[in-house]
Structure 1
Amino acid sequence: MPKVILVSTFPLPYPKIGSWTNMYRNYFESGQNQIDTIVCEAPENRFDGVKYALVKNTFWSKIRKKLQYYRVNYVDALLGEIKPNERYVIQFVDNYVLARHFHEKLVLKGLRQNCHVQFFYHGYEPFVPASGASGFFKEVDELILLTNESYKAHLAYYTVFPVRVSILYNGIDTSKFSKVNADEKHKIREDLGLKGDKVFVWCSQDRPKKGLAIVLDAWKSVSAKYPGHELLIIGTHKRGDFDNVRFVGKIPNDELPKYFQASDCYLFPTLCHEGFGLTLIEALNCGCHCIASEQGGVPEVLQFGKLGRLIEKPNFVSEWQTAMEDFIEGKDKPIVVENPVYTLQEWVKSMNVIIANAKNKLS
C-alpha cells in the first residue's frame, strides 16, 4: 500500500494563525488521518499517530534558510523517507520550488515513477508563467485547487494544461464557528461591551489589498446617517478617528467565534483575487449576513449570491456604503445559513478521497 508524506515548511502543529495549517491540525486531530509522515522542522508538540521526519535546524541550516537554500534540508529529509521498492503520495503546499527540487532528485535516483506528487495551491490565479508551465506539469502529478472558478482561470490561461486536477474547498470547525440563539448573542454582546443596534465586522491583516480603507471611508457616511450602529475592526490597531468604530487588534483564533457570533454583518472587501476566504465562511457559519467583493473564488464560496451579497465594483466606496445602508434599512433580507456549510467533516472526507484516488493510481 502506498504511503502518504506531507511536506510542510511550517512545524506542525503550528502555534500561530494560518489557514491551511489550521485545517491540517484539525485533520490530524480528527481521528481519520491518512497521512503517514510529516516532513517539517521540529514542532513544540507532535500529533499522535503520525511519523515525523525532522528537517535539520542547526546554525548552518538557519544560514541556508536566510540565503534561500533551506530547500536542501527539506529535500534531504524527504529523500530519507523514500525507499526504492515502495510507492508514495507526496503532498506539497504552496511551495512549487521545493516540489521541483524534489522532482529533480528523484529523477536522478530513478525513483520518480514511484511517487505521485500532489501540489495544493491556496491562491486563485495561475502562478506559473505559461512559458515555464511545461516543466511544472512534468514535476507535479496533481494540482489541488480551492474552487472550480480557480480551475476555470487555469484552463483559460494555459493553452496546454496536461495535469490531473482536484477541488478541495476549505473547511472549518463548525463546533466552534456556529450560530448562537438570541439570548446567547445578547449575553456575548454585553460581555464585549457592544451597544450598537446592528454590528458590522471586518477581520483581516491590514494590507491595502484587504480593503479596510474602502470600508472605513464608507462607514463615515453610514455612521453619520445611522449613528446607532457599530463597526468592529479585528486584526489591526487603531488608525484615525471614526465614530462608532472599535479596533480590536490581533486576537487568537480561538477568540474569533464570539466576535462573529455577536455581529450581524460581515464585510469582506478584498481588492484581490482571493483563493477562498476562510474568515468569510467562519462568519457565515456564526450567523452573519455577508457582504463580499465579487473577486476570485469568493462568488463560488457564496454560491454566486445565494449565501451573501456580492459587490461587483469593490473599489467604489459608494458600493459598500449602499450595501451597508440597504442592510440597516432592511432592503436586503439577511441571508443566514440554516445548516453548517464548508465543515471540517466535509474537508476531511474530501481529502481522504483525494488521497485514496492517488493511491489507486500508484497501485
Structure 2
Amino acid sequence: MKNKIRVLLSNLPLPFDQVGSWTFEFNYLLKQAPLFDYVLSPNPIQSDVFRYCKKRKWFKGAKLFKNKLLFSWIFRDYIRELVLIAKEGKPLQLLVVDDQALLYALAKFKPQLPDNSELIYYHHGHSIELSPMVMYRTDKVFFLTRLGYRESVICNNQFTPEVEIVGNGVSSEIFYPLSTEEKIRKRKLEGFGSSEILITWMANSRPVKGIHLFEKMIPALIELDPRIKIIIIGNAHHLKWKSDRLIQKGRLNPPQVAEILQVSDFYFFTSLWKEGFGLSLVEAIKCGNFIVSSRNGGIADVVGGYERVRFIEDPNIIASWITEFGNIISSDSWRDLDEKTRNSLFDFFSLKSWEDRIRNGLK
C-alpha cells in the first residue's frame, strides 16, 4: 500500500493541447506508468485523477487582502481539492510546477496538511529568491541546472530546501540528426542546396530573446559568404530587413521545427537574460547543429560536453557575433559531426532521462 499521495499542481491545463515548453514533457510523463495520484490544473476534462482547478485573477484592490484572497479566491479550487484529498488520511507529496504564487499559497496552507506532507517546487527559471516562510516550508526544489541552484544560494541569505537538478527533456524520436545523405535529400525537398550554409534562429518576439539584435546582424552575416541563408522560426513580427536569403517561418509545431533544424547547419541562440534552460537550444543540438550562443544563465550547463559550440562572451555587442562566426566558417571543420557525437545525441536531455530524474527526485 502506498504511504503517500502524490499530487501534481499546475496553472496550465494538463495534459496541454497547445505548443508549450515544459508542458510537452509533462504530457509525455502523464502517458507513462502512473506517477501522480491526482493532477490539479485548469483542464476541463475531469476524472478520478484529473481535477479541474482554476487560478483566478487578482482584481482591483485585491492585493490589500493578499493572504486571505489566496485561499478564498485566487487558489480556492486547489485548496478545496487538497482538503478533500487530505481526508484520505495519508501524507501528501505536492509537486508545484513553475508558479511562485501557488507555491506561496501552499506554503501558507501546509500546516493544515497531514503530518509528514511534502512540498516540492519545480522551478523553470534560472535562479530563485524565496521568503524565509516559503523556504522553510518547501522541502525540495527541482532546478533546471546546477548553475541556477548555485546562483540561488548566492542571492538568498539562506537556502534550506533539499535540491535536485532535473533539467528538461526533449523527444529523441522527433529531434535527431540526419545522416549526410538524408540531410542532402531533405534539403532538396525544402528548396535548399547541399553547399548552402543554413543559419537558424528560433524564439518568440520578446526583446530578451535578442531578435532585435539578430535582425541587425543579418546583413553582416550574409556578407560573410554568398552561400549563407537564414531561417527564422517563431518570431511573430516579420522583420523589416528583406532578402531572398532570409526565410521567415512563423510559429511551428515540434515536428515542423525538427524538420528545419535537421537541415540546418548553425543555430544562433541570442538570449539576453539569465536563461533557465533553453529547450530550443537542446532541440538544435539533438539535430546536430553547430551552436553559436550567449553564455547567460544556465546555458553553459545545458550545453555540457557538446563540443560543437562557440560562446559569445559579449552578446550585446553585435560585432562579437560576426567576428566569431566569420572565424568558424573560415574552416570547413564545423561541418563534421563525428559518429560518436551523433550516437550520443539520442540520450542528450532525452525525455526518458528526464523522466528518470523526476522519478528519482520524488522518491
- 1:18 aligned to 20, 26, 29, which one? 20
- 1:73 aligned to 77, 85, 91, which one? 77
Deviation at 1:247, TM superposition (A): 0.8
Is 1:349 matched with 2:359?
no
User: Do the aligned partners of 1:99 and 1:139 also contact (CA within 8 Å) in 2?
Assistant: no
3-state SS of the aligned residue for 1:280? helix
Corresponding letter in the other structure for 1:230: K
- Aligned in 2, Cα 1:148/1:287: closer, same or farther, shift over 3 Å? same
Is 1:235 matched with 2:239?
no
Q: 1:1-363 counterparts in 2 under 5 A?
A: 1-29=3-31, 31-43=32-44, 51-55=49-53, 64-65=56-57, 67=59, 69-83=73-87, 85-107=89-111, 109=112, 111=113, 113-128=115-130, 133-195=131-193, 197-236=196-235, 237-243=237-243, 244-303=245-304, 306-330=307-331, 333-334=334-335, 336=337, 337-338=341-342, 339-340=344-345, 341-356=348-363
Deviation at 1:191, TM superposition (A): 2.4
User: Do the aligned partners of 2:45 and 2:52 also contact (CA within 8 Å) in 1?
Assistant: no
Question: 1 or 2 for the larger relative contact order (CA 8 Å, sep ≥6)?
Answer: 1
3-state SS of the aligned residue for 1:113? coil
Alpha-carbon separation, structure 2, partners of 1:43 and 1:182: 46
Question: Normalising by the residue count of structure 2, what TM-score does the alignment of the two structures yield?
Answer: 0.87
Corresponding letter in the other structure for 1:118: I
Q: Percent identity?
A: 23
Task: Mark the runs of 5 or more structure 2 residues left unpaired by the alignment.
Answer: 63-72
Task: Mark the runs of 5 or more structure 1 residues left unpaired by the alignment.
Answer: 357-363
Deviation at 1:92, TM superposition (A): 0.3
User: Do the aligned partners of 2:15 and 2:30 also contact (CA within 8 Å) in 1?
Assistant: no
User: Do the aligned partners of 2:196 and 2:227 also contact (CA within 8 Å) in 1?
Assistant: yes
User: Do the aligned partners of 1:53 and 1:81 also contact (CA within 8 Å) in 2?
Assistant: no
- Aligned in 2, Cα 1:125/1:5: closer, same or farther, shift over 3 Å? same
Give CA deviations for 1:331-358 in whole Å, capped at 9, x if unaligned.
76357432121111110111111111xx
User: Do the aligned partners of 1:299 and 1:305 also contact (CA within 8 Å) in 2?
Assistant: no
Alpha-carbon separation, structure 1, partners of 2:174 and 2:187: 17
3-state SS of the aligned residue for 1:18? coil
Alpha-carbon separation, structure 2, partners of 1:207 and 1:42: 27
Alpha-carbon separation, structure 1, partners of 2:88 and 2:215: 59
Corresponding letter in the other structure for 1:330: S
Deviation at 1:90, TM superposition (A): 0.4
Alpha-carbon separation, structure 1, partners of 2:46 and 2:82: 20
User: Do the aligned partners of 2:107 and 2:133 also contact (CA within 8 Å) in 1?
Assistant: no
Alpha-carbon separation, structure 2, partners of 1:241 and 1:106: 54
Deviation at 1:304, TM superposition (A): 7.0
Alpha-carbon separation, structure 2, partners of 1:332 and 1:219: 23
Alpha-carbon separation, structure 1, partners of 2:80 and 2:277: 33
Aligned residues: 340
- Aligned in 2, Cα 1:219/1:241: closer, same or farther, shift over 3 Å? closer
User: Do the aligned partners of 1:32 and 1:348 also contact (CA within 8 Å) in 2?
Assistant: no
Deviation at 1:207, TM superposition (A): 1.1
3-state SS of the aligned residue for 1:160? coil
Alpha-carbon separation, structure 2, partners of 1:99 and 1:13: 20
User: Do the aligned partners of 1:93 and 1:121 also contact (CA within 8 Å) in 2?
Assistant: yes
User: Do the aligned partners of 1:289 and 1:335 also contact (CA within 8 Å) in 2?
Assistant: no
- Aligned in 2, Cα 1:178/1:43: closer, same or farther, shift over 3 Å? farther
Give CA deviations for 1:262-321 in whole Å, capped at 9, x if unaligned.
100111010000001000011100110111111100011112773511111111101111
Corresponding letter in the other structure for 2:349: Y
- Aligned in 2, Cα 1:239/1:14: closer, same or farther, shift over 3 Å? same
